[in-house]
Structure 1
Amino acid sequence: MTSRSRREHILHRAGALFASRGVAGTTVREIADDVGILSGSLYHHFESKEAMVDEIISSYLADLRARYQQILDGPDGPDDQLRQLIRASLECAASHPHATEIYQNDANYLRGLPRFGYLKGVAKEVESVWLTVIDAGRRDGTLRSDIDPKTFYRLTRDAVWLTVRWFRPGGKYSLNRLITDCTTLFLDGIAARH
């Protein structure tokens, strides 16, 4: 195994442990045991446990932010942009399941560590993208104006990103079906049309 593939393997296994046990609840020794090396050998690849977490999360957030920026820069109207935000969020969660779960479970803990001070700014940036799209849709009449934008954002955000706790890509219920169901529920509602 090359040094690069060993490093990626360690990150993958560490991500699974952080996602299931929490960052604070996972030790360097447990990560080393899981990948079959001595604890001290991990420091050959990473300066610290926090460095591993940072690399896992920053890759996920970079992907999410790039996709969001593409949507904002695109020609579509707010209702289509909102559908694209839901799609991008679910696709990123499926591509980075451990990072998504770590971020959802441990963001408050991580924000207390100096290395992760940037997370608060990222959270505000993500919220701003959603609220910009929602407000534009309210202004042009494609989205309802009687629902508080922050409430809609928070409900949608939590429902979308927390799918990482139960959705497993590759099963009978596909990622595309999940995306369709989420966008339909959030943008069209669940009430039967008569």
Structure 2
Amino acid sequence: MSYLFGFGLLVVAGAVVVLFAMLGELYARSGGMEGAGAPGGGSGTVRLLDGARVGSRPERWPAGLAEVATADLRVVLVFSTSCNSCEKAAGEVGDLADTRDFAVLISTIDQERGEDFMTRHELSGLPHHIDVGGEWVAEELGVMTSPSALVFRHGRLVSALLFTDLAALSAAVFPVKEAVGNE
């Protein structure tokens, strides 16, 4: 009976990850991000993410993201291993001049796929968490879309954004960083 329960749980976790990726892809492909424009006139788009629990503070933090809970300002990039837009965006992380304010959360169906994604995009040097089933980010923050960026100040979610271009995202976030006085 416990094997049946375990198998059922694995199927449900897989379905959540696939749904997470499908929602992001559908939104991006349906033109949902067109016309939003990028701060500074860039070609990428950044929009507010509906449904995220902005203003909330997670009750529990994964070990890999523990420093986000106390940092002045951190941006957690949420990627899914089943999302083509996430593959592109994750490949842009290495192009950033400064990544010290970023962390990564990988929503995936299993640990091995998440680790492969991290290795393939050389993200292991950043604080990170492989979120099997997308459970933590969905339960704690109400986020089920990728690629997205979660902006935290002292562990409180202050903004949740959908993005198509990491440079446009940085242009949107770093003026916020300067406004809050983070060095």
Q: TM-score, normalization: structure 1?
A: 0.32
Is the radius of gyration larger for structure 1 or structure 2? 1
Higher relative contact order (CA 8 A, sep 6+): 2
Greater fraction of residues in helix: 1
Q: TM-score, normalization: structure 2?
A: 0.34
Greater fraction of residues in strand: 2
